[in-house]
Amino acid sequence: VSYSRLGDGDVTLVAKLAAASADVAEALVAAGACDFVLARSLESPTTPSVQRDAANAVAALARVGDGASALAGPRAPAVVVGGLLACPDKLSVQFAGIHALEALREAGNAYLKTTSGVVEVLLRSLRVQSDSALQAIAVRLLGHLAGPRDEDAVSLVVSDCDSARPSMLQEGVWTLSKWATRDAALARAVAVHSGVGVFLQGIATLGTDADVVVAALR
């Protein structure tokens, strides 16, 4: 494939082909698609369609073995976060970008946690987006990525968790319990911001394993 000959729809084409099947995605990786979509994203930082399709391509390519390796460095998460920051009002970009971050996490990208702005974009998705599925992914990612300096994340997660949205409540219980057992400062924040109430909702509504809650409360 000669990417240099493709026009404005080039990233769209790569994203659609990459999502078609694992074999096609692997072939695209071998043809240099990972570097290509990251470069195109950087070339058009404020073009929503490019940012959306580049993020979709990253998500699809990261889910195949060679793609995970090709996207293992610091560049991929930085580019995806950059697109999220550049297009804050475009739900399609936010949806694709957060899915791409989740794919990079699942692929084992070691640089995701230290990528500048990653917690910021996840917190913003909780503040301004109404899509429960997207927010649930953001909550799960925060459980992996937020640290002691991100205590405001705790209050946002608690406020977004309620029994009317089971997926959010489930992810909230998991994230809050992970924070509570990982770091003393985050554990205090969970207590201060009524995280115990979320645990109790989880037990009452979802049948959350009490052992998870007991470990968190300790």
Render pLDDT for 147-177 as a digit per residue (tens, 0 to 9): 777 778 888 888 877 666 788 888 888 888 8
**Non-local CB neighbours of 10 within 8 Å, separated by 6+ positions:** 3, 36, 40
Q: pTM for this structure? A: 0.85
Whether 117 and 134 have beta carbons less than 8 Å apart is answered as no
Residue numbers of the chain with a pLDDT score lower than 50: 1
**Burial class for 188, CB neighbours closer than 10 Å (0-12, 13-18, 19+):** middle
What is the structure's pLDDT at 155?
Answer: 83
Whether 49 and 12 have beta carbons less than 8 Å apart is answered as yes
What is the structure's pLDDT at 211?
Answer: 67
Burial 89-114 (b: 16+ CB within 10 A, else e): ebbebbbbbbbbbbbbbebebeebee
